[in-house]
Structure 1
C-alpha cells in the first residue's frame, strides 16, 4: 500500500528536508523511524526540498508499506516517535502510481517579515528586517511576476540541471497586519531559491533599493547574474501542496 503523509515541522535546527551526509535532515528523521518500524530500509519521497531553516505547515511525502495499519494508526505511531518539532498532520492511502513530487498540481508558500522592533522570540520564524516597507510599491512589482514566465533570473538551478525554467505563478499577494508583512505565493512549481529570490527582490523594492522597472529588467534578462538577492530562510513556510488524489 502507498500512503501520502502531510507533515508539519519547525525547520530551525535541521539542514533542510533532504538527507545530507553529516547533517540532520527532516527526511532522515522520518526515514529512520519508518525503517525501524519495518525492520528494513524504507525510503520516503517528498514533494520537494525545503532549505535549512525553512519551515512547513504542509509538506507531503509518500512511502510504501506492507504493514497492517490504517491511516489513523499510522499517524499515532509516527507522532509517538517523532521529535516535538515534527508532526504528522494527516495520512491518506493513495493509488500506487501517486508520487508526492510528480503528482503535485500546485504549491503554496508564505513568507513573513517583521518590519517592527526586533523580536528575539520570533527571529527563527520571521525575517527580522526591522524597517518599514512600501507595500504598495511591492504590490505593483509583484503584479509583473504573476503569470507564466521564464524565471531563470530568480533561481539558482543551472540550465543543465533544469532545462525548462518556465513556471506559472498563480498568486503573489502581499498583506500587512500591524508590523508583519506576509508574502503569499502559489504556483505550479518552484525552483531552488525561487521563492526567496522573488521575495528578496520585492523587499528591495519596498526599501526603495529597486524599482518596478528593475524587477521587469531582471525577469526579462533570464540571466543567473541578473540578481543575487535571496531573502533569509527563517521567514519561509511551505503551506500546502495540492493533488487531485488528496482532498
Structure 2
C-alpha cells in the first residue's frame, strides 16, 4: 500500500459536511465515489477536520492509502478531472510513514467572514450578512475573552464521549476588516476545536456587540458554569472556512 497526503479545498454549500452519511452528499462520500470510478477505492481515507454541513475549506488535509503507486501529480490530475467544480485537490504528495492527519496537528486556523452590508450574490454563500449594526470594539473585547484554555461545554455541541475532552485552548483570535470586499474576518487558531465551537463563539460575540447593554461578563460566567447564561445564536455555517492546518514535521 502507498500512503498519500493531500491538501483539499471545497465549498461546503452543497454538502452535509465532511463525513459520509446515508442518503445525503458529503465531501468524503464524493471523494470515495470519484476514486472508485477512476483509480479504485482507497483502503482508508482520513481527514484532519470533520467540517460540518455548509462549512468550507481551503486547507483541509487528508491521508489515504492505495494499492496503486502512482506519481502524485498524475494522480492529482486524474482525481481533479473527475471531481465536481466545488472540490479541488490543491496538492498531493507521498506521505511519510508515521504521518497521521489528526494526531500530528500543531495548529488549525479557521476564518469566519461576516458583513453588515449586502454582498454580491457569488460572495453571499461564503459570508454571514448581519443585518444589525455591530460595535467592532465590543466584538473584539468579547472575542478576546475566549482566548486561552477553558472548558467550552457552554459553547459547543458535545457527544457523550466528548465530555471529558471539553477543555480546549484557543491560541489567538484576531478581527480584520477586508476593505476591498467590505467584510470582516475573524481568525481563530488552536490545535483542536469542539463541534460548533467556533460558530458559537462568533455567534455569542456578535450578539453581544449588537446588544451592548448586556455585560460581557456573561461569557465568563457561561464558561465557568459550563452552560450558556443566555441563549446566544450560533453563527451560520456559510461564513466559516477551514483555512490552514499546520504540522511540525510536514506531510512528507
Would you say 1:230 and 2:234 are equivalent positions? yes
| CA gap 1:72/1:40 in 2 versus in 1, 3 angstroms | closer
Unaligned 5+ segments in structure 2 are none
Query: Contact 1:35 / 1:42 at 8 angstroms: preserved in 2?
Result: no
* C-alpha deviation, 1:5, in angstroms: 0.8
- Greater shift, 134-143 or 192-201, is seen at 134-143
* C-alpha deviation, 1:227, in angstroms: 4.1
TM-score normalized by structure 2? 0.91
Aligned residues: 247
Query: Contact 1:8 / 1:88 at 8 angstroms: preserved in 2?
Result: yes
1:191 match: secondary structure? coil
Partner of residue 71, structure 1: 72
- Greater shift, 11-20 or 156-165, is seen at 156-165
Over residues 33-83 of structure 1, what are the superposed CA-to-partner deviations in whole Å (9 max), with x where a residue is unaligned? 223334446431111211111111011110012313122112212111111
Matches within 5 A, 1:146-225: 146-178=147-179, 179-208=182-211, 210-223=214-227
Unaligned 5+ segments in structure 1 are none
* C-alpha deviation, 1:138, in angstroms: 1.2
Over residues 114-141 of structure 1, what are the superposed CA-to-partner deviations in whole Å (9 max), with x where a residue is unaligned? 1113543322110111332111111112
Hey, what's the Cα distance between the residues in 2 that align with 1:4 and 1:225?
A: 43
TM-score normalized by structure 1? 0.92
Query: Contact 2:42 / 2:64 at 8 angstroms: preserved in 1?
Result: no
Q: CA RMSD in A?
A: 1.9
